[in-house]
Structure 1
């Protein structure tokens, strides 16, 4: 970053939960909020900070029950997570920012468009879905049972294998180790409550009411939330744009950061003009 930039890190109570956050980029930069995937923390966006913090004032945070944020053992919906983002943005001066979320972060972005229109200037919905098919409901419930019985360590290797391609895993052991550490250090409560919320996701029929400018960014070879799910969002959200990260699996922002950053930067610059 250049002279005059500042970094902040701390905690704030938003929507009744303590959330840990970090802010990077110039004080007068264009505001941008990043929302991470399930079982990661704000460090999943490190490659994006390096590419965007020259122009954008970036707020990252650990969603409830993740990273250094508070875990509350109470039922939540995806809307609850959207309410958290809005309260955090209000507390830190990021109303009117652009929003980028991946996986459950992209689900959160849809809830922002549906329930909090006008709070964010644009939405980037990455590697996500607008509904969980009935045949997948049990998968999410089984994951909750697994971590409650065996801890988050049981999710480490299988999750990494879903999130990245095999050749990338072999070629990037240090970054894989960082991501695996995020997974296994996620609160069991936070993971479980978010899995339950994901299992109930059903926004497809409502997408047409979202008026916020939206780009959809899937990973081309994502086995976790396949690109066909992004196609559904695109088809049901009039005026949306879809651009695919070629050769990348679920955490496409980590596996192919240059390509992801180029897509996102072009979108943000256009929406900020």
Structure 2
């Protein structure tokens, strides 16, 4: 089931593009929010949306700055995960949504979900965190991987090379060769990301304020349940995300001593596990959502 894109004018005068797809015959169905990764617009979730709505859930998607039809701030260096979370808070207020049944985020969308849950406790009931780093390169003590990519896109003047390299890292050559039509569709959708959008979201990923390890410890963590999902082939994230999972679990235990956070690895999947690990992803997510 599809939904036409709508737009919200934010207090900063930026435009936030979103789509709310209702569950069939139930306008009051619980709402699940889907938050995408860097370079992907919300339309990449289309197969997930149909699976969730047929299970009686409404689905809300949105585009971060410079992705899809969302616009960018005048100061491209000003975007942080706190500002990305604030955009979603404005969207929920606009739609009169007080409570989300779940937030499902991948990569940048997962990081935004953790920051949102810490900044706005008790709005998200269940949090699903997929394939995300824990902090910016400067906080991890490693070389900046985002700045050079932005510079490369600026030098060339278009996103084509960035998108092609990203697809190969995310999906791998074997999957790409076996799924040419889906790869081509995904590439065309990702090419709607502007260079400004890429740069401003990379600013959030590069920021010294980006450290999820601190957010999960702040005043308890504001969700009831959490689940971590990662693609088996997503670089070192199957190991690296365990530390983040433990931090979220400690945050939850401040409210509920028996709280645990499940961790699931999707075999043969990469960074966008809802695409190349779709069946396992849907089975895991729907079981967790109940």
* TM-score, structure 1 normalization: 0.91
Contact kept in structure 1, 2:29 and 2:57, CA below 8 Å: yes
| Separation of aligned partners in 2, 1:143 and 1:219 | 23
Aligned position for 2:152: 146
In structure 1, the gaps of 5 or more residues are none
| Separation of aligned partners in 2, 1:105 and 1:265 | 19
List aligned pairs for 1:85-234, cutoff 5 A: 85-97=88-100, 98-134=102-138, 136-150=142-156, 151-200=158-207, 201-208=210-217, 209-212=220-223, 213-223=225-235, 226-234=237-245
Contact kept in structure 1, 2:35 and 2:104, CA below 8 Å: yes
| Separation of aligned partners in 1, 2:222 and 2:183 | 37
User: Structure 1 pair 166/37, CA: closer, same or farther in 2 (3 Å)?
Assistant: same
| Separation of aligned partners in 1, 2:120 and 2:228 | 19
The CA deviation at 1:95 is 2.6
* TM-score, structure 2 normalization: 0.86
Q: How many residues align?
A: 264
SS of the residue corresponding to residue 47 of structure 2 reads: helix
The CA deviation at 1:8 is 4.8
SS of the residue corresponding to residue 121 of structure 1 reads: strand
Aligned position for 2:287: 266
List aligned pairs for 1:79-90, cutoff 5 A: 79-90=82-93
| Separation of aligned partners in 2, 1:161 and 1:64 | 24
| Separation of aligned partners in 2, 1:7 and 1:176 | 22
Contact kept in structure 1, 2:120 and 2:222, CA below 8 Å: no
The CA deviation at 1:7 is 4.0
List aligned pairs for 1:61-72, cutoff 5 A: 61-72=62-73
| Separation of aligned partners in 1, 2:4 and 2:181 | 26
Q: Indicate the larger mover: 135-144 or 96-105.
A: 135-144
Aligned position for 2:45: 45
User: Structure 1 pair 257/40, CA: closer, same or farther in 2 (3 Å)?
Assistant: same
Per-residue Cα deviation, 1:214-252 (whole angstroms, up to 9, x for no partner): 1111111112x6222221111212232211212100010
The CA deviation at 1:137 is 4.3
SS of the residue corresponding to residue 211 of structure 2 reads: coil
SS of the residue corresponding to residue 259 of structure 1 reads: helix
